[in-house]
Structure 1
Amino acid sequence: MNSQRMPLKNSLCLLLAATIWGIAFVAQSVGMEYVGPFTFNGVRSLIGAAVLVPVLFILNRSGNKSSAATDSAIPESSSAPSEKAVSPTPYNSRDLWLGGIACGFALFAASSFQQFGIQYTTVGKAGFITACYIVIVPIIGIFLKKKCSPFIWAAVVMALVGLYLLCITDGFSIGLGDILVLVCAFLFSLHILVIDYFSPKADGVKLSCIQFLVCGILSMIPALILEHPQISSILTAWLPILYAGVMSCGVAYTLQIVGQKNVNPTVASLILSLESCISVLAGWVLLDQKLSIKELLGCVIMFAAIILAQLPEKEKDNK
């Protein structure tokens, strides 16, 4: 596979996912005023799974119709049964369920840290710190026997400088929210790599539905024990929860799985990292959250690191 050529469809899927996620930072911040972090993630994940059920039903019906049309088009002959018997089945249920459960656990861990972190930091800062996965993904690749050029290390240094300007306050202190979101960035890096492994082996919509179901169940367990959610509070926060459930989960994460299929994870993470820019704009327009000159400089340096981290992709030797 040539990782330098990304199909336009994949690029548009990932770009749309990044846009939805950028705006979702606002929904997550507003929703936290009414419900706890685990409750918010649990309800929105279960909504995301529920939204995909009718999609799966429609896709299965259309698939059955196309299969029936193909079968009816085969002329009756002694060779027809053998042709049907050797029809390819690219996916199997084992990879689907194993991938869905693995993605669900990774998503639960990452989204939990992100949701707690958003309580203590701004939408813009949360978006940019989350985008650190663009540098973390290729670094983890070192342990997966993938080469790491000097461009990557330069990007790491630049990202650390940007993080300092963005997160470190007076007196060399760092906010709790910044630390939590930084842990979330590492966990989302693992989520991207898990999707990279399983997306070519399973149907994207089914994989997405299972991961939301797993994430929703894992989130609701601590929510019921620690937060004691009330239906009235959930209904009060219906708009941000509905956006996060339908758009951020049901639509965007499915677009990520579909868009990442057979695409280099580092290249995909570059497009997905644009959610950081969109989150800053969304926080400024919708919540009037403005960044200082120092914080803006940190954002610029971090985005430069994001771009620099991709340069080695253009210099890979053809095997």
Structure 2
Amino acid sequence: MRSHALRADLLMLLTAMIWGSAFVAQRLGMDAVGPFLYSGLRFALAALVLLPLLPVLQRLSRSAPLPPVNRQLLLGGGLMGLALALGINLQQVGLLFTSVTNSGFITGLYVIIVPLLGLLIGHKTGLGIWLGACLAVVGMFLLSVGEGFQVASGDWLQLAGACVWGVHVLLVGFFAGRHDPLRLAVVQFVTCALISLLLAVLFEEIHLDGIIAAGPAILYGGLFGVAIGFTLQVVAQKHAIASHAAIILSLEAVFAAIAGALMLGESLELRGYFGCALMFGGMLLAQLWPRKSPPLTETPASADAVGHRHQSRAAS
């Protein structure tokens, strides 16, 4: 069991590295194409890659035979895909006006936003969530607020995107318990691709040479960020521990900052790094604060809020 858990931790660490570095691909891809076209192409590529792999992934995640695809599954995947398209495109457009570092950390606030949104539908929220939220708010102030108490427009878009990711997690939690999560994921990827491509046709100029120039970023974002990252997590969650997943997958924000520094030459002032540390601490506190009635044994990471969201977004 220990060897399986260690392998799962290493796979999740690799996944967090891939997803964190994917923020750089998202930024570089927009040097040649618009944000909607980039999102549409990479999710279309991911869906095309995952479709033939679906039977293999399903055998890895469960052994029971699956019912045929029905209208309810398509509806659930479509609603998840709608939220995914809104969240990823807010993030993508926001990257035009803020740094990869800011984007990674602000997006990670969904970990706190999810239980706060859950209050609206009757979920209970513990002390850890409120303490984590306070740390995150202070951290975001230090990270994002500049001279004259101004916040970059891209940071506001990233925060709006984090709220959408929160809604997305709640949708995943609702539909994944009723339908096969792997099928739902593919349906939502297709939905996200179609919506993003439609937005690109309506609002952006599309040129073949631009698509070719953005090809490496599209391939990395689609193949590694979504398809491979998604597959790695499905394999890892078979033996993962929820508390480990909360820490390791949250490192996506840290790896985004490291990738931004190494590949794009990004840097922050000292207070910005302190703000990142507070935000990361708030995210972990919200995830790891002891519940009032903890189970006797830890549950698989797929039951964790981080796991739910990442399994569906796969580092968008």
TM-score, reference length from structure 2? 0.81
Are 1:29 and 2:6 an aligned pair?
Answer: no
Equivalent residue number for residue 79 of structure 1: none
2:126 counterpart of 1:128: no
**1:181 maps onto 2:179 in alignment:** no
- Output the CA distance in 1 between the equivalents of 2:283 and 2:244: 10
**Partner amino acid for 1:178?**
D
* Equivalences, count: 290
Deviation at 1:193, TM superposition (A): 2.4
Q: Equivalent residues in 2 for 1:230-245 (5 A)? A: 230-245=207-222
Determine the structure 2 residue equivalent to 1:140.
117
Let me know the Cα RMSD of the aligned residues: 3.0
Percent identity over the alignment?
36
8 Å contact from structure 1 (residues 41, 216) kept in 2: yes
Residue 21 of structure 1: CA displacement? 1.3
C-alpha offsets along residues 140-164 of structure 1, whole Å, 9 cap, x if unaligned?
A: 2222322212222121111110000
Correspondence for 1:54 among 52, 55, 72: 52
Contact 1:161 1:298 in 2 (8 A): yes
After superposition, the C-alpha distances for 1:226-247 in whole angstroms (9 at most, x for unaligned) are 1021111000111011100111
| Cα distance in 2 for residues equivalent to 1:7 and 1:102 | 33
C-alpha distance in structure 1 between counterparts of 2:243 and 2:262, whole Å? 30
Matched, 1:44 2:42: yes
- The change in CA–CA distance for 1:190 and 1:15 in structure 2 (over 3 A counts) is farther
Question: Structure 1 counterpart of 2:149, which letter?
Answer: F
CA-CA distance at 1:185 after TM superposition: 0.8
C-alpha distance in 2, partners of 1:299/1:270?
A: 15
Where does the alignment leave 5 or more consecutive residues of structure 1 unmatched?
1-5, 68-87
Aligned-pair CA distance for 1:203? 3.4
Distance 1:265 1:39, change over 3 A: farther
| Alpha-carbon shift at residue 129 of structure 1 (Å) | 0.5
Moved more, 166-175 or 222-231: 222-231
Written as runs of structure 1 = structure 2, the 5 A alignment for 1:87-236 is 89=65, 91=67, 93-94=69-70, 95-236=72-213
AA matched with 1:109: L
Cα distance in structure 2, aligned partners of 1:147 and 1:264: 23
Q: Give the CA deviation at 1:211.
A: 1.3
Letter of the 1:34 partner, please give it: A
Residue 289 of structure 2: SS of its match in structure 1?
Answer: helix
AA of the residue aligned to 2:150: S
Q: Which has the larger radius of gyration?
A: 1
Report the 3-state secondary structure (helix = DSSP H, G, I; strand = E; otherwise coil) of the residue aligned with 1:309. helix
The match for 2:285 is: 308
The alpha-carbon distance between structure 1 residues 311 and 210, as it changes in their structure 2 partners (threshold 3 A), is closer
Q: Structure 1 residues 268, 209: closer, same or farther in 2, change over 3 A?
A: same
